[in-house]
């Protein structure tokens, strides 16, 4: 069922792009396939990025909640959930995009493995309608016309570290994909100079001090900036560079999409603040209601009367 529902549709989308593009370069087909997948996920991605941006902006309010709760974890959790509900934030919204990407990644990996081990699978595993495309018919007659490279520069069947030894072009793709993933994660992380590191929190916990759950969650989230790139590196360094190329292009596309969405959100917020008039002695400043200081009246000095002068 996984092959029928996941692997074959994903594989056939890649084959369709490969058969239609001029030059029929397999590396270019993977690049275009990745961009198409990211564009199809755009509505879900935009919602996730908006939620991530709101979560980043809520950090000062979460600190105030922590201070107001004064160590009462139950009250702190209730106040946080109330804040999330008020702002329309779902802390687990990012899981949807991740769960959607995993089947695509596994399906693409399975399809690429078939082709890279047996190029004939490019034709036999395709849907009958695709097998009748002109280029696919030519491949059926002579499979040696299939060129599994990226512009004849990178052999996409080879891994950075494999049975044939070290392969520099594939290693460059692997390292680049890890670097892009780092900046992609960093872009969504809230900047907090006073935040404690995960190591410091674990050290405090080891000395008997109870760790604050909010600080612990934030520290774990910050550590993913380094964890995810490391996982991507070790995952892609020993597999065919075709999949590493998919991950690199996916990361670059996601970074561009994140920049666009975050910029749009900032522009919308600035426009809303500029259009909101001040009311009842209150002014809107950076999305918060701030009380305007009331003017202080100076005491009026009065001249002494004639009666008071006579008494003196």
Non-local (6+) Cβ contacts of 306 within 8 A are none
pLDDT, tens only, 228-256:
889 889 989 999 899 999 999 999 998 99
Is the per-residue pLDDT at 32 higher than 60? yes
Closest CA to 150 of 170, 179, 132: 170
Non-local (6+) Cβ contacts of 182 within 8 A are 225, 226, 228, 229
Q: 282-285 and 288-291 as β-strands: parallel, antiparallel, unpaired?
A: antiparallel
Is the per-residue pLDDT at 28 higher than 70? yes
Q: Where are the domains of the chain?
A: 2-311
User: Cα(87)–Cα(55) distance, rounded to whole angstroms?
Assistant: 9
- Would you place residue 57 in the very low, low, confident or very high pLDDT band (cuts 50, 70, 90)? confident
Asked whether 286 and 273 are in contact (CB, 8 A), the reply is: yes
- Would you place residue 274 in the very low, low, confident or very high pLDDT band (cuts 50, 70, 90)? low
pLDDT at position 185: 80
User: Cα(246)–Cα(156) distance, rounded to whole angstroms?
Assistant: 11
C-alpha distances in angstroms, 206 versus 195, 200, 201? 19, 10, 9
User: Cα(49)–Cα(161) distance, rounded to whole angstroms?
Assistant: 35
pLDDT at position 92: 60
User: Cα(298)–Cα(293) distance, rounded to whole angstroms?
Assistant: 15
Is the per-residue pLDDT at 261 higher than 90? no
pLDDT at position 58: 76
- Worst-scoring range by mean pLDDT, 70-79, 162-171, 190-199? 190-199
Closest CA to 112 of 27, 32, 170: 27
Non-local (6+) Cβ contacts of 249 within 8 A are 30, 31, 34, 35
Mean pLDDT within 270-294: 45
What single DSSP character describes residue 275? Answer: H
pLDDT, tens only, 179-215:
998 988 887 765 555 555 556 656 666 666 665 555 6
DSSP H stretches of helix in the chain: 2, 8-20, 26-40, 42-57, 59-69, 73-87, 94-117, 121-124, 128-131, 134-141, 168-188, 198-206, 213-236, 241-275, 306-311
In the chain, the percentage of residues whose pLDDT exceeds 70 is 69
Task: Tell me the chain's radius of gyration from C-alpha atoms.
Answer: 29
User: Cα(139)–Cα(182) distance, rounded to whole angstroms?
Assistant: 40
State the number of CA atoms in the 13 A half-sphere of 22 facing the CB: 0
DSSP state string for 124-169: HTS-HHHHTSHHHHHHHH-GGG---EETTTEETTS-SEETTEE-HH
Residue that is written with structure tokens 């892009």 in the block: 180
pLDDT, the chain, mean: 78
pLDDT, tens only, 119-163:
999 999 999 999 999 999 999 999 999 989 999 999 999 999 988
- Would you place residue 289 in the very low, low, confident or very high pLDDT band (cuts 50, 70, 90)? very low
18-22, 50-54, 263-267, 271-275 — most confident range: 18-22
In the chain, the percentage of residues whose pLDDT exceeds 90 is 33
Is the per-residue pLDDT at 282 higher than 50? no
């Amino acid at each position: 069922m996984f092959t029928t529902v996941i692997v074959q549709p994903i594989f056939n989308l890649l084959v369709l792009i490969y058969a239609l593009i001029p030059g029929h370069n397999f590396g270019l087909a993977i690049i275009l396939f990745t961009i198409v997948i990211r564009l199809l996920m755009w509505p879900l991605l935009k919602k996730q990025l908006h939620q991530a941006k709101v979560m980043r902006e809520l950090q000062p309010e979460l600190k105030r909640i922590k201070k107001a709760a004064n160590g009462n974890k139950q009250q702190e959790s209730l106040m946080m959930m109330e804040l999330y509900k008020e702002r329309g934030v779902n802390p687990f919204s990012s899981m949807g995009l991740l769960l959607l990407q995993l089947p695509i990644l596994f399906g693409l990996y399975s399809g690429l493995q078939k082709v890279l081990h047996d190029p004939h699978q490019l034709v036999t595993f395709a849907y009958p309608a695709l097998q009748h495309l002109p280029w696919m018919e030519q491949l059926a007659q002579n499979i040696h016309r299939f060129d599994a490279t990226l512009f004849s520069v990178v052999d996409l069947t080879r891994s950075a570290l494999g049975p044939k030894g070290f392969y520099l072009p594939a290693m460059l793709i692997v390292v680049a994909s890890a670097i892009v993933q780092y900046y992609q994660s960093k872009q969504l992380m809230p900047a907090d100079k006073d935040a404690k590191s995960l190591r410091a929190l674990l050290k405090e916990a080891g000395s008997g001090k109870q760790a604050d759950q909010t600080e612990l969650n934030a520290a774990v989230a910050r550590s993913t900036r380094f964890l995810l790139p490391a996982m991507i590196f070790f995952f892609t360094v020993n597999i065919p560079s075709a999949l590493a190329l998919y991950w690199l292009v996916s990361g670059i596309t996601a970074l561009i999409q994140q920049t666009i969405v975050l910029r749009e959100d900032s522009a919308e917020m600035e426009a809303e603040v500029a259009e909101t008039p001040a009311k009842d002695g209150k002014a809107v400043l950076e999305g918060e209601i701030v009380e305007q200081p009331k003017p202080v009246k100076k005491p009026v000095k009065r001249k002494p009367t004639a009666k008071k002068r006579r008494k003196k």
